[in-house]
Amino acid sequence: MARHLITSAIPYINGIKHLGNLVGSQLPADLYARYLRQRGHEVLFLCATDEHGTPAELAAAKAGKPVADYCAEMHDVQAEIAAGFKLSFDHFGRSSSPQNHKLTQAFAGRLSDQGLIREVTEEQVYSNADGRFLPDRYIEGTCPNCGFDSARGDQCDNCTKQLDPTDLIDARSTISGSTDLEVRETKHLYLRQSAVKDQIAKWIDSKADWPILTTSIAKKWLTDGDGLQDRGITRDLAWGVPVKNGDADWPSMEGKVFYVWFDAPIEYIACAQEWVDAGKGNEWERWWRTDAGADDVTYTQFMGKDNVPFHTLSFPATIMGMDEDWKLVDYIKSFNYLNYDGGQFSTSRGRGVFMDQALEILPADYWRWWLLSHAPESSDAEFTWESFQTDVNKDLADVLGNFISRITKFCRSKFSEAVPEGPTYGPTENQLIADLTAKLAEYQGHMDTMEVRKSAADLRAIWVLGNEYLQSVAPWSTFKTDPDQAAMQVRMGLNLCRLYGVLSAPFIPDASADILAAMNASDAPWPDDIAAAVNTLQAGHAFTVSDITFRKITDDERAAWAEKFAGTRD
RNA sequence: GGCGCGGUAGCUCAGUUGGUUAGAGCGAUCGACUCAUAAUCGAUAGGUCGGGAGUUCAAGUCUCCCCCACGCCA
């Protein structure tokens, strides 16, 4: 038994995530966590909401609520949807938790002691009307270069010239539209990432088995231009972790907060504390401190490619800079983007399917199966309703669902709703067992290395073996001449149902639970030995014929959904 | 403009350190079966592996140049 710490990139609090976000981190992380648990490993699977920063403040203002209230509500909404998708977090925390506040401040203090933080005085644009400093992207104006009237503070989208906010003519706040802007001096803390650049480069180089997507992004940031740059870790905002040096005030930094990208990864650690404080576990240190038992922990992070720089560089720089006994990530599984029907998912334009909407139209397992079997591992992938309909109908309804249906109904009509008697398995069954054993080894191999698409293909192949078997032994024919032999064949079929319930659980947990319940098999350990597994249900073991496991998606539904989700979300 | 990931059968994709007639699923066609959600199983379908040049006994798989799509950055 091994110990696995698994984290999914933490979703931002602002709004409900779309299917692309889901398949890029939380869903594959859940697949892996479920699989490892079933294999008998000790797993701690953590996720949280990322709650700080300007977008949260603006969203709260738009909703007419205090930002803390807004975040609390949205956290609950996201938690409920995550539960709907059967994401099996051991804890779903919040980056705004007291635990994270304290830990983030402690980290900053320690980094300061290590000489890795420097203070920088810089000029930033302040909006009197908004009463806040404006990040570059919240400033618009006329480009001094080409005259384009909606150039952003950092760049003109029309002529692509790089800009400084102070270059803009008639600069205005995109929040309020106010032009009452001024430049003010403000002091910020910078994390001296450049000081640990070589250490990080060496560390990245040692990770030969990481996905190319992960290491190529990291190396680009390490080598581009002057290499890894120091990074500001504080902001002039009200909503966030107040800047402190441990428990002490930080002179001249009053009223400022840490930058969201500094405190968010630390929430991975704080979340383990929240998990303990919520009474769900104990000794969080043995997951995170190598001097407290975390030496034998394998830590795996899941994320979309946009998050890779922060997880390969910024957060490791923080951990390394601490120079204490904090656990560093062992493997980073990153994903490309899922596109929606020829374009991108768009949160702002409401284009594509969002997590809450998905659950409104179909059960979680449909989405889990399609998304995981099309996970954007090697390149961007594409969601189309045609693909979704045909693949789900074929794989889940026809191959798996119909298998369950045909064997249970046949048994009921020819024998009873109990496993029939019959002779021991013969050569054909032994061949099936050998084939299943080989396929299971492939499945496990791909699951162990987090090759999600290949794992899905292997699982499907295991389902197909059941149909091939029934087709070749044809118990409906055998029954006419040799009912005893047919009984044995049916017994095998019913045992396969139970086996599929066990093996499919990481992908489709609800359907798996239903199958196992129908087979009256509460105890469902991962099989070490297929021969034993298909002898689990003995003659006389009662089962029930369940309703359709997976209904099919109709052409009308497909057409209606395609139209509904192409446009704008309310 | 720089960089990154890709460009393999109608579609979605696999193709390890270069090596037998380039694979899978879906779709299509034909056949088998009839227990089942008109489900299943089998067979077939001739893709210049984006284009060109090169290295090699041998390249989809390495080198160089070019084209296309997407993304990131300046």
Distance in Å from B33's C1' to A469's CA comes to: 13
Q: Nearest CA to A400 among A440, A460, A457, A447?
A: A460
* Confidence at residue A570, expressed as pLDDT on a 0 to 100 scale: 41
pLDDT of residue A258: 94
Residue A161: what pLDDT? 62
Does residue A455 lie within 7 Å of nucleic acid chain B, judged by its CB?
no
d(Cα A6, Cα A450) in Å, to the nearest integer?
12
CA angle A453, A457, A459 (to 5 degrees): 115
Q: Which nucleotide has the least CA–C1' distance to A215? A: B4
- pLDDT given at position A309: 83
* Environment class of A360 (CB within 10 Å of its CB; exposed 0-12, middle 13-18, buried 19+): exposed
As a whole number of angstroms, the distance between CA A72 and CA A61 comes to 14
pTM of the shown model: 0.94
The reply to whether the CB atom of residue A550 sits less than 7 A from any atom in nucleic acid chain B is: yes
| Helix/strand number for chain A, H first, E second | 22, 19
Residues 159-188/A with CB < 7 A to strand B: 160, 162
Which chain A residues in 466-485 sit with Cβ < 7 A of strand B?
467-468, 470-472, 474, 476-477
* Residue A122: predicted pLDDT: 85
* Å separating the CA of residue A408 from the C1' of nucleotide B35: 9
Three-state DSSP state, A248 = strand
Give the pLDDT confidence score for residue A171 in this predicted structure.
Answer: 82
Q: For chain B, which bases have at least one atom within 7 A of a protein Cβ?
A: 3-6, 11-15, 24-27, 32-37, 39-42, 70-74
Residue-wise pLDDT tens for chain A (570 aa)?
Answer: 899 999 999 999 988 888 888 998 999 999 999 999 999 999 999 999 999 988 898 889 889 999 999 999 999 999 999 999 999 999 999 999 999 999 999 999 999 999 999 999 988 888 888 888 887 778 888 777 767 777 777 666 666 566 677 777 888 888 888 888 888 889 999 999 888 888 888 888 788 777 777 777 777 777 766 678 888 899 998 899 999 999 999 999 999 999 988 999 999 999 999 999 999 999 999 999 999 999 999 999 998 888 888 888 889 999 999 999 999 999 888 888 888 876 777 776 777 889 999 999 999 999 999 999 988 887 778 888 888 999 999 999 999 999 999 999 999 999 999 999 999 999 999 999 999 999 999 899 889 988 898 899 999 999 999 999 999 999 999 999 999 999 999 999 999 999 999 999 999 999 999 999 999 998 789 999 999 999 999 999 999 998 888 999 999 999 899 888 875 544
Q: Give the helix/strand (H/E) hosting A183.
A: strand A181-191
| Residues 505-544 of A, Cβ under 7 A from nucleic strand B | none
